[in-house]
Amino acid sequence: MEYSKKLFVVDEKLINSNDPQAVIDPVWWSVSIYDGEEIYEEALKHFTVPQRHVFAIQWYSAEVNNGGHDQFYTNPTGIVWEDALKGFEAIGAFENVNIVKESAIRMGGYPSKNQDERNDQLEQAYVNSDDLFGDLDDLYYKSESDMYTLLNAYIIANTKDFLFSKEVNIPNILL
């Protein structure tokens, strides 16, 4: 895949727009969830802790909304589970904190950051259950609007941590 640089500007106007995805786009395109924990962690060193929180919450939300916790943990995105947990704590979304904690417990207590190992954990967890996460998926869907209110407030309260103006490599197919 070929990449080109694109300038991303996250200013106060964008931060106040209540669009967390637009605010986190520079992180979204800079941090790989696909290449293992070491590369994930290295890429995140270039961003603030609040950016990391919102990045993880956005991935968690996208996956759970698309296919539930099963999809979240099965896909590479499961690598962000602990950052999503910390992010929910940081924004004060304690119902979501409890949902992620319970999902981790059902995965054996600490889901692996390695996708293959996490899938093995998931397979083991399903030995004792036909519907491992259905109730948690439902709880998440009910909590989502409140969570986004808290997320947007967190972004605005931490404006300086989200300000960004740099070029980022993105796939040419998106230009």
pLDDT single digits (tens) 152-164: 999 999 999 999 9
pLDDT digits (tens, 9 = 90+) for 125-139: 988 788 999 999 999
User: In this predicted structure, what is the pLDDT of residue 11?
Assistant: 98
Yes or no: is domain 3-174 CATH 1.20.1420?
yes
pTM: 0.94
Domain ranges within the chain, ordered by starting residue: 3-174
Using CB atoms within 10 Å of the CB of residue 163, give its burial: 0 to 12 exposed, 13 to 18 middle, 19+ buried.
middle
pLDDT digits (tens, 9 = 90+) for 29-61: 999 999 999 999 999 999 999 999 999 999 999
Could you tell me the end-to-end alpha-carbon distance of the chain, in angstroms, rounded to an integer? 13
User: In this predicted structure, what is the pLDDT of residue 85?
Assistant: 98
Residues pairing with 10 in the sheet: 164
Helices (H), 33-80: 37-44, 49-74
Using CB atoms within 10 Å of the CB of residue 78, give its burial: 0 to 12 exposed, 13 to 18 middle, 19+ buried.
buried
